[in-house]
Amino acid sequence: MTVRGSNLQSAQQVTFVGSSSSRDNVVVKLSARAAQPTAITVTVPSRAKSGAVRVSGTIAAAVSSPQPVKIVAGLPAADDASGSTKLIAGGKREAHFGYHVNSSAAVGSRVEAVSGTTGKVVRSWPLVKSGEGSVNWDGFVGKEPATSGTYVLRLNDSASASAETTTGSDTQFELAEGFFPVRGAHTLAASEMQRFGGSRNHQGTDHFAKCGTPLAAFTSGVVQFNAFQGAAGNYVVVQRANGESYAYMHMRERSPVKVGAKVFAGQRLGRVSDSGHASGCHLHIELWTAPGWYKGGHAYDSLPLMKRLDKLN
């Protein structure tokens, strides 16, 4: 958000006043460079409420916005996967392969995705009859992400005589089966209390991180639940195409994702915290078999997957 005015260069903080009570004030302190003479740009904190915005520390007295500012919870602008060099199955970015068919393509002409580890073709797509064609691969094979590793997108033997790859194609790349959900320093479930099952029949695994660490979806799917519950705190359940569902608990605030909306692997869900019944900020994550979370599936140990993802990204 940008506040415009004059003589703002000495401003020291912006306060989101919210309602008339001072209890919901959220203060953003400004760095020396953040305030320009005629404009101050600040990131709206997630806890800010609609209301007046006050700039203080200016040469003049504190100034308030003449109109209250309406703050709406939008979809998360953050794409936590954007810094990843790997392609993530179900991520926002897909592998792109473009080609041009020069003469009528022979029967059986296809683009194929080949595993660099096994040499096996994991998926293939028929060519267009003529001209420009392209394939965008989300890294899934059927309803499951492909195994992590190197992949090659290429024209198969039948196609290579009549078509050619166009520039800008992803011919070889590293694919990750998912994205580690805690996007900052963390400790993987270490004690018996933090692991699956055990004496308290723990349905998930607990991964500790500093309070407020961003939390992202580890795989793509559709939001099934977004709610608060006394034990789970702020939680979200995402269902994958294979019918399994995955619960993320104890988030700091209600997630901005909407029930029924699609999320991609690496999309911000919220922040790690200790809402609900939790001692210390951590992600409690549950994996449930189809048909899903409290819909007839059962919980299974999420630690093997979390360990794999933690090594990948």
What residues make contact with Zn ion under the rule CB under 5 A?
Answer: 204, 206, 284
How many angstroms separate the CA atoms of 302 and 207, rounded? 11
User: Smallest distance from the beta carbon of 238 to Zn ion, in angstroms?
Assistant: 17
Check residue 219 and give left, alpha or beta (phi > 0: left; psi -120 to 50: alpha): beta
CB of 207 to Zn ion, least distance (A): 9
User: What single-letter amino acid sits at 125?
Assistant: W
Specify the residue, 268 or 284, whose C-beta has the smaller distance to Zn ion: 284
CA distance 224 to 98: 35
Least Å from the CB of residue 227 to Zn ion: 17
- Radius of gyration of the chain measured on its C-alpha atoms: 24
Nearest to Zn ion of 204, 292 (CB atom): 204
**CA-wise closest residue to 267 among 77, 128, 37:** 77
CB of 204 to Zn ion, least distance (A): 5
Q: Whole-angstrom Cα distance, residue 79 to residue 42? A: 19
CB of 292 to Zn ion, least distance (A): 19
* 310 phi and psi angles, rounded to 5 deg: -60, -30
Q: Which is nearer to Zn ion, 145 or 204 (CB)?
A: 204
Give the integer Cα–Cα distance in Å for 141 and 155: 18
Cα separation, 124 vs 134, whole angstroms: 12
Which residue is nearest to Zn ion, using beta carbons?
Answer: 284
> Cβ neighbours of residue 263 under 8 Å, at least 6 residues apart?
217, 220, 221, 222, 223, 238, 257, 269
Residue 313 CB, shortest distance to Zn ion, in Å, is 23
Calculate the CA 35 to chain-centre distance.
Answer: 31
Residue 121 · residue 111 · CB < 8 Å? no
Q: How far is the CB of 284 from Zn ion (least distance, A)?
A: 3
Q: Whose Cβ is closer to Zn ion: residue 154's or residue 250's? A: 250
